[in-house]
């Protein structure tokens, strides 16, 4: 059975985000992303769990400090609108993705767009750059525990009439009680500047 994998590997698919210098003598930089898809999200997207590789079955040796994330459903409404939380595995920096359709590929593509936008705020993204996204499943307990706490506090924040999911994301990364100790935004900026953030191919 083919494993459920979403990949972006063609330069012309990302050159609307990142300028690609076709004549560049530089080696191509790569950013492999591995995204845990929670059980709730698997069910929501109608994915057979057998179609997603376990983290123990995936070669993570190519990963970088930016590579590992987890996706969890924050909430849905009766009109078919959904908020997803993508949280980085070590810094707990989080990105909130809004979707009006239940298509995993579209959700992952939007996450990628948002991730690149935030990286551009702090670093010069290398070019040319190739990116792949692989969905995985597993039980990263520390990450799951932290995300559960984030979502609990977000429920409280949403009841306080935070209208915009962009404002909610800022609150997650800068002022939630569970996040203050970890300083997610500051730590994410640090690893973004790491010489190991991207790999050469």
Mean pLDDT of 15-44: 72
Residue 116 CA neighbour count, 13 Å, CB half: 20
* 138 is a domain residue: yes
For residue 198, tell me if it sits in a domain.
no
Q: Phi, psi at residue 199, to the nearest 5°? A: -120, 160
Q: 66-124: per-residue pLDDT in tens?
A: 999 999 998 888 787 888 999 999 999 999 998 888 889 999 999 999 999 999 888 88
Residue 58 lies in a domain: yes
Residues 141, 148 contacting (CB under 8 angstroms)? no
Report yes or no on 32 lying in a domain: yes
For residue 29, pLDDT over 70 is answered with yes
- Pairwise CA distance, residues 140 & 130, whole Å: 27
Distance from C-alpha of 87 to C-alpha of 141, rounded to nearest angstrom:
13
* 114-158 pLDDT per residue, tens: 999 999 888 888 877 888 899 999 999 999 999 998 888 887 767
| Residue 157, domain member (yes or no) | no
Domain contains 163: no
Q: Is residue 54 in some structural domain?
A: yes
- What is the count of structural domains for the chain? 1
**What pTM was computed for the model?**
0.83
Nearest by Cα to 127 from 12, 5, 19: 19
Identify the domain containing residue 39 by its residue range. Answer: 5-18+26-143
Instruction: Please give the angle made by the CA atoms of 50, 51 and 52, to the nearest 5 degrees.
Output: 90
Q: Do the domain assignments include residue 111?
A: yes
Q: Taking Cα atoms as reference points, which of 137, 176, 127 lies closest to residue 50?
A: 137
Question: Angle between the 141-159 and 165-174 helix axes, to the nearest 10 degrees?
Answer: 130
Average pLDDT, rounded, for the chain: 80
């Amino acid at each position: 059975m083919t494993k459920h994998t979403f990949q972006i590997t063609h330069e012309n698919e990302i050159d609307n985000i990142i300028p690609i210098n076709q004549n560049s003598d530089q080696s191509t930089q790569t950013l492999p992303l591995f995204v845990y898809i929670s059980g709730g999200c698997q069910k929501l997207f109608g994915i057979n769990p057998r179609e997603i590789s376990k983290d123990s079955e995936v070669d993570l040796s190519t990963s970088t400090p930016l590579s590992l994330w987890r996706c969890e459903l924050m909430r849905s409404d009766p009109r078919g609108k959904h908020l997803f939380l993508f949280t980085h595995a070590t810094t707990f920096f989080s990105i909130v993705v809004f979707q009006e359709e239940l298509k995993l590929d579209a959700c992952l593509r939007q996450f990628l767009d948002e991730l690149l936008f935030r990286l551009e705020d702090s670093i010069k993204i290398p070019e040319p750059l190739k990116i792949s996204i692989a969905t995985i499943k597993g039980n990263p307990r520390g990450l799951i525990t932290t995300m559960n706490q984030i979502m609990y506090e977000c429920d409280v924040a949403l009841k306080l009439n935070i209208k915009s999911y962009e404002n909610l994301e800022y609150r997650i990364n800068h002022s939630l009680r569970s996040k203050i100790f970890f300083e997610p935004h500051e730590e994410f900026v640090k690893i973004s500047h790491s010489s190991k953030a991207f790999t050469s191919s």
